[in-house]
Structure 1
């Protein structure tokens, strides 16, 4: 007869990588890949700190991620004042060419209309010749993972930055997804060998 200790199963603790659940993290990776772009997280400071910490440990160098820094009051009355102050701080400190705005679960849950906030900001500052381009990606984590945030930001960047009037003969745009720099170098090498720009 078997002893009762042999019949017992060893307890198992399941774990999940929280980084795979953060849609604004995926968007921030895209925004950091655009020259002259500063990512801004429209939501709580904790979300921006988490993303900054993750990217610093990945890239092994400092990474700037701005935040509109929601508080309890902002959650109730809306984040428009924090949004404007955050944008002003980013422009004053970094002079970016582009500001990539990713929304968090909190901003999406209270119904922040970021496109309207951007339009109001542009209208109030239309005389500023150094006004950056704004890219907004809707990235609540309850709607997807870091991959969904990545794809949403790529789509938003292309929709905002692509010149619809330019036509080119031998030019291809590739959007390979969430791949490593080595994969990108390999794709560039293959296209160069094929004579494709």
Structure 2
């Protein structure tokens, strides 16, 4: 008398049926957590993620940390010169999934060369000039203006009065009086 399989209705119990239900030997494991780690997060999963850590699975150590209050932050875990470090990459939706992946890959390349990506980021921030900061600010601010005349006025004011005087000064060295 053959045993009835709990997995296959009306059929006999075979090892192949058990493995198929467990996902063994088929190239894919059926648990959702494992799928995320092997395929990577999707934009929908990022938007709908609940509190906790959600690993991207692309191999760069990227994960999304979701606070109980709903705040979403991209974090990368790297080993730099033998020490495990977590590097904050920014918040979602300010930093998209694609941007976070690119930043994580860049950091991983830097770490493989034996350098510290966090230290390099700090050095870059220290050397940021007023002209560079003003250009980055204007790129986002000018989009708010509907009128082309106002865009030109804003740019002309900075180009005429501020950038010639303090444009090359490091942002960290500037005071309110400047």
More strand by share: 2
The structure with the largest alpha-carbon Rg is 2
TM-score band by shorter chain is under 0.3
Q: TM-score scaled to structure 2, two decimals?
A: 0.25
Q: TM-score scaled to structure 1, two decimals?
A: 0.24
